[in-house]
Structure 1
Amino acid sequence: MTETTLPGFARLGLVRAGYELKQFFREREQVIFVFSLPVVLLMLFGSVFEGEWDGTGVTVAEVYTAGMIGAGVLAVSFQNLGISIAMEREDGTLKRLAGTPMPPASYFLGKILSVLVMGVCELVLLLTVAVLLYGLELPSDWLTLGWVLTLGLAAGCLLGIAVSSLPRSARSASAVVTLPFLVLQFISGVFIPFTELPAWLVNVSSIFPLKWMCQGVRSVILGPGGESLEMTGSYELGRVALVLGAWVVGGLVLCLITFRWKSRRDG
């Protein structure tokens, strides 16, 4: 009798990623919300606040484009995974998957790869809007933009997986995940530059990855002219890499400690 050999975890992860993307894009309301919110906010802020930002030589639209890219990428990773995994745990999807031969690593790989595709779509969409409506010049330093968003996306995915265990039910998942993320955007330089924030709020935001993601993206979008908007007068790219890398490691540890396949009612 011939034994059936299961595909490797990477191949299963690719299959799972395809399933995740099909499921996501079939939910039109979810697609519209995830992709349109950063675009709508960029259009609102870019239209209401026109011209240069405090004589820095960079436009308001450029500042908000950088902020929306950082927030948008973290939203499709941290927020999206935190809510969707909590819902899958509640409806029994995770419990059923845990009972299949599919390696757990394939499930998580599928989630991360699908988020990577969504993150690229978000980036392309925001840059397209900024170029067409506000005359933004496409960035030249794609390497820096790439590693900043890759580290930020990895940290966001791992933190989203970890935070998915916090909501007590699927109905509370959106509030538990979205509210702190919304607050974080206001203190991390997405909507308000750090020069306009109290020092203690800047110190709080410096603990979390969103602040450093946006700072790294600003280094590419704004260039040298935008350094005056930073508290230290520098983009501190070395520190950006260090903090985001630390959150990737910390997020992985949190996942290993907190992740559950069953909901609380299942014990």
Structure 2
Amino acid sequence: MTRTLVGAPAANRPHSVGGGGKLPGAFRLGLLRGGLELKQFFRAKEAVVFTFALPIVMMAMFASIFHDKIQGAGITVSQLYVAAMLGAGLMSTSFQSIGIGIATERDEGNLRRLRAMPMPRSSYFLGKLWLVLVTGVAETTLLLAAGVAVFDLKLPMAPGKWFTFSWVLLLGLIACALLGIAMSSVPRDAKSATPILILPFLVLQFISGVYISINSMSGWMLKAGSFFPLKWMCQGFRAVFLPDQAKVLEQAGDWELGRVALVLGAWCIGGLVLCLTTFRWKSRRDG
């Protein structure tokens, strides 16, 4: 017969075997952690405005400056920019934001405290992925609304196009988020996180067909951009929102959706391996 101390704190009492005191699973804890991450994100109003507004502002600037018709493609330059900026917007809310956020949390000692809590480590990363998914979908919705309202972007009617949009968005978000988690271990402290994460993101935008069309880039830029997920995300979105005759602007003269899925899927696997092998819970000055 088990004796329970009267007046003992609930945290010190033994959990019942019947399941009343059983801790939630990793997935449910990840959902709860994701809700906390979203609350913290939307409370930082300046960060919210910058995260959501920057891709829209960049899209508006480039699409307004370059709006001529592209011969043989049946589209305007602004429509090309809108489709490409969808990929850049997703990478901004995943790779850049999550990488800087985790580096800051590590530098402030929050990760050490989380590691000491009775919570599966996977729940922390699930929470980050939920944050990326919600903010990424919100960013994409805003970019699509701006593209349709201002730059004559045509939404597809075929269900197959929306299916392609869904898997490109999902694989792209996961790949970029995992890459951001892995890159968060590179900065030595929170101050260096922003330049270290923003610089490769800016370079990738120029060599992945966001600001410069694929058919205008030199060979080495095409090869370098083809190694990273952003180029394939942009290509997948162009396949969804641009007419089929616009595929002549692509490097291979085709949308190559099979290769898009293969590369993004490979980055999901490779990003997971990088996270498992490089992630640190403590800052470098803590040893």
TM-score, with normalisation over the residues of structure 2? Answer: 0.91
CA distance in 2, matches of 1:249, 1:119: 20
Taking only aligned residues, the RMSD between alpha carbons, in angstroms, comes to 1.0
Corresponding residue for residue 222 of structure 1: 242
Q: Which one of the candidate residues 66, 69, 87 is aligned to 1:49?
A: 66
- Verify: 1:135 aligned to 2:152, yes or no: yes
Corresponding residue for residue 18 of structure 2: none
Q: Which one of the candidate residues 12, 24, 29 is aligned to 1:7?
A: 24
CA distance in 2, matches of 1:79, 1:36: 14
Q: Which one of the candidate residues 154, 162, 170 is aligned to 2:190?
A: 170
Deviations 1:75-132, CA, capped at 9 Å, x for gaps: 1111111100000000001000000001111110010011100000011000000111
Corresponding residue for residue 258 of structure 2: 238
Corresponding residue for residue 52 of structure 2: 35
- The residue type paired with residue 75 of structure 1 is S
Q: Which one of the candidate residues 67, 75, 78 is aligned to 2:92?
A: 75
Q: Aligned residue pairs: how many?
A: 267
- Verify: 1:194 aligned to 2:211, yes or no: no
CA distance in 1, matches of 2:104, 2:246: 41
Q: Which one of the candidate residues 94, 97, 103 is aligned to 1:86?
A: 103
Deviation at 1:154, TM superposition (A): 0.6
* Larger of the two Rg values belongs to structure: 2
CA distance in 2, matches of 1:127, 1:117: 16
Deviation at 1:55, TM superposition (A): 4.0
Corresponding residue for residue 104 of structure 1: 121
Corresponding residue for residue 233 of structure 2: 213
* Runs of 4+ with >2 A deviation: none
Q: Which one of the candidate residues 184, 194, 201 is aligned to 1:181?
A: 201
Deviations 1:125-144, CA, capped at 9 Å, x for gaps: 00000111122221331100
Corresponding residue for residue 17 of structure 1: 34
- The residue type paired with residue 24 of structure 2 is P
Secondary structure of the corresponding residue to residue 231 of structure 2? helix
CA distance in 1, matches of 2:201, 2:224: 13
CA distance in 2, matches of 1:184, 1:157: 15
Q: Which one of the candidate residues 143, 146, 149 is aligned to 2:169?
A: 149
CA distance in 1, matches of 2:177, 2:26: 19
- Verify: 1:61 aligned to 2:81, yes or no: no
- The residue type paired with residue 10 of structure 1 is F
Q: Which one of the candidate residues 159, 164, 181 is aligned to 1:161?
A: 181
CA distance in 2, matches of 1:123, 1:89: 29
CA distance in 1, matches of 2:220, 2:72: 26
Corresponding residue for residue 11 of structure 2: none
CA distance in 2, matches of 1:96, 1:54: 58
Secondary structure of the corresponding residue to residue 140 of structure 2? helix
Give the share of equivalent positions with the same residue, in percent: 57
CA distance in 2, matches of 1:198, 1:133: 31
- The residue type paired with residue 215 of structure 2 is T
Secondary structure of the corresponding residue to residue 212 of structure 1? helix
- The residue type paired with residue 156 of structure 1 is C
Corresponding residue for residue 136 of structure 2: 119
Deviations 1:184-233, CA, capped at 9 Å, x for gaps: 10010001011111111101111111111101110001131210110110
Gaps of 5+ in 2: 5-13, 16-20
Deviation at 1:46, TM superposition (A): 1.5
Deviations 1:222-250, CA, capped at 9 Å, x for gaps: 13121011011001000111111111110
